[in-house]
């Protein structure tokens, strides 16, 4: 169990050895969360939710009915559901899905993602491209990484512009959807 406070919100989180960052909240995730402001009108996707840190925090801040958590790993989904109940946001939508493949909803204001680092870029490329289509105009895709040039270039090619927020060794990227089409050919 991890007991922590993030942005003044107390959380108790179960983990599992095979899930990402099982001993402590990942510092990259904390870097991203330090940059994102959520409001009562937001609708959020936690893309690759793992045991649920990002989505559960968002649900505590803006309401469980405004948050969707997605992961491809059945164990992550099970642990995230237990953590949502433990942290009194059991009504949050938690979906077993390979990226956005198993989710029909769109019109989100924020997609928050700490993509897998130890894979080729096919996974984050798909996350960014498909995520663009799930955002409403004015919605933001948030991503944290340590390797910056590929992410910067990919986000710029899809969204047209990207902001970088350096936090320690991490780069937190935010890209705003300003049109219904990609900025350039993906």
Q: Is residue 186 part of a domain?
A: no
127-141 average pLDDT score: 96
* CATH number assigned to the domain comprising residue 36: 3.40.50.150
Domain encompassing residue 71: 2-176
- Give the count of domains, the chain: 1
108-120 average pLDDT score: 86
Q: Is residue 181 part of a domain?
A: no
The helix or strand, by DSSP H or E, that contains position 28, with its residue range, turns out to be helix 27-33
Residues β-bridged to residue 45: 68, 111
**pLDDT on residue 116:** 78
Q: Is residue 118 part of a domain?
A: yes
Q: Is residue 152 part of a domain?
A: yes
**pLDDT on residue 118:** 63
Q: Is residue 136 part of a domain?
A: yes
C-alpha distances (whole Å) from 130 to each of 32, 40, 96, 152 are: 20, 25, 16, 17
Tell me the pLDDT tens digit for each residue of 14-63.
999 999 998 999 999 999 999 999 999 999 999 999 999 999 999 999 99
Q: Is residue 145 part of a domain?
A: yes
What band does 121 get if pLDDT is binned at 50, 70 and 90? Answer: confident
Q: In the chain, count H helices and then E strands.
A: 5, 9
**Rounded-to-integer distance, Cα 26 and Cα 150, Å:** 21
> For helices 149-159 and 122-134, what crossing angle results, to 10°?
30
**Rounded-to-integer distance, Cα 87 and Cα 146, Å:** 30
**Rounded-to-integer distance, Cα 22 and Cα 51, Å:** 9
Q: Is the pLDDT of residue 186 over 70?
A: no
Which of 51-65, 92-106, 121-135, 172-186 is least confident?
Answer: 172-186
Q: Is residue 23 part of a domain?
A: yes
pTM to 2 decimals?
0.94
């Amino acid at each position: 169990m991890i007991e922590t406070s993030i942005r003044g919100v107390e959380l108790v989180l179960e983990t599992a050895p095979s899930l990402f960052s099982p001993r402590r909240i990942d510092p990259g995730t904390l870097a991203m969360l330090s940059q994102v402001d959520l409001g009562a009108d937001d609708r959020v996707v936690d893309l690759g939710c793992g045991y649920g840190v990002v989505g559960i925090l968002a649900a505590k801040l803006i309401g469980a009915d405004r948050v969707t958590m997605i992961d491809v790993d059945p164990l992550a989904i099970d642990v995230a559901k237990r953590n949502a109940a433990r942290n009194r946001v059991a009504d949050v939508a938690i979906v077993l899905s390979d990226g956005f493949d198993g989710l029909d909803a769109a019109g989100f204001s924020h997609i928050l993602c700490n993509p897998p680092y130890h894979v080729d870029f096919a996974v984050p490329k798909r996350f960014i491209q498909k995520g663009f289509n799930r955002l409403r105009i004015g919605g933001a895709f948030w991503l944290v990484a340590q390797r910056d040039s590929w992410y910067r270039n990919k986000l710029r090619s899809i969204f047209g512009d990207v902001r970088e927020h350096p936090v320690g060794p991490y780069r937190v990227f935010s890209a705003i959807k300003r049109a219904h089409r990609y900025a350039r050919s993906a």
